[in-house]
């Protein structure tokens, strides 16, 4: 295991965040130009990328764990979801797919919005993706039960 010295390397990384951001923007611009050109060659209209209303709302919601979760421990996800079923919250906020409450709780550190969390969970899936509504509803359940705050 590498011993990472934030004091030594953190400033270096922080100093290059703008460069990394610009590289990402340039890559996206290049991809968009390529995709638009390819569409035109195929006689199609270029795609317009935009977030749905649900994605926009999810991108504004940043959940953070509460002291109640800290007291319960981070492995409490199954117990929490049983509590949600007993209180009828899974009927009010249905979760059809398989979002892992423990994984969602780990990502609720104030640095990720709900859309980010959905995308990060998708990256862990071997096949398919998690529905945004399932992540939103799981966050709603965890918030009502007092394990998260928005």
pTM of the shown model = 0.71
Can you give the pLDDT of all 150 residues of the chain as single tens digits? 455 566 667 777 777 778 888 898 999 999 999 999 999 999 999 888 789 999 999 999 999 988 888 777 666 777 888 888 889 998 999 988 777 888 898 899 899 999 999 999 988 877 778 899 999 999 999 999 999 999
What lies within 8 Å, CB to CB, of 62 at 6+ separation is 110, 111, 112, 113, 114, 150
Residue % of the chain over a pLDDT of 70: 92
- Cα dihedral sign, 124-98-106-22: positive
d(CA 137, CA 143): 10
């Amino acid at each position: 295991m590498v011993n990472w010295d934030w004091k030594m390397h953190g400033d270096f990384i922080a100093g290059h965040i703008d460069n990394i951001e610009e590289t990402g923007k340039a890559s996206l611009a290049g991809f968009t130009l390529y995709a638009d050109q390819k569409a035109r060659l195929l006689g199609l209209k270029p795609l317009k990328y935009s977030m749905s209303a649900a994605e926009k709302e999810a991108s504004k919601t940043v959940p953070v764990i509460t002291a109640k979760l800290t007291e319960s421990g981070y492995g409490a996800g199954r117990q929490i979801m049983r509590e949600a079923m007993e209180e009828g919250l899974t009927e009010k906020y249905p979760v059809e797919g398989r979002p892992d409450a423990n994984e969602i709780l780990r990502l609720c550190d104030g640095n990720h919005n709900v859309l980010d969390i959905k995308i990060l969970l998708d990256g862990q899936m071997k096949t398919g993706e998690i529905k945004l509504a399932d992540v939103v509803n799981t966050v709603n359940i965890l918030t009502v039960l007092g394990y998260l705050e928005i």
